[in-house]
Amino acid sequence: MRAKEKAFLGAAYVDSRYVCVGPDGAPLTPNAVSMHFRRMIRKNGLPYIRFHGLRYSVATLLHSAGRDIQDIQGWLGRSDISITANIYSHFLYSAKRDMADSIDAALR
């Protein structure tokens, strides 16, 4: 798709090498990406979540699926595992309940 736009615009095409660009190749503003994401959510009747919230959701889902926190850290591109462990991988209620049940069983 970019090749067609680049060929059509010629020298006017901005080769910014960014992933999120407009039809002329110029980088989109962060607000443009967020607004498009918000419209897409509304259009599909999904509950509201901020675009950045997807990182939290993915980390939480990977953690709840049993993936190693260090693998999640690498996948998210974080340099410090403590950031991933403390911020991104929130325990789900069911995981907390399972831990409480384990303690209960051990004490019986």
Per-residue pLDDT reduced to its tens digit, 36-58: 999 999 999 999 999 888 888 88
Structural domain of 12 = 2-43
Q: How far is CA 37 from the centre of its chain?
A: 12
Question: Which of the four pLDDT bands, split at 50, 70 and 90, describes residue 89?
Answer: low
* pTM value surpassing 0.85: no
Nearest to 63 by CA among 46, 51, 49, 81: 81
- Tell me the average pLDDT across 63-80: 84
Q: Indicate whether 65 pLDDT > 70.
A: yes
Rounded Cα gap, residues 78 and 101, in angstroms: 33
**DSSP H stretches of helix in the chain:** 2-9, 30-43, 53-64, 69-76, 81-83, 93-107
- Tell me the average pLDDT across 81-102: 75
- Tell me the average pLDDT across 69-84: 83
Number of domains into which the chain is organized: 2
Residue 89 in any domain: the answer is: yes
22, 60: one domain: no
C-alpha angle 102-106-108 in degrees, rounded to nearest 5: 120
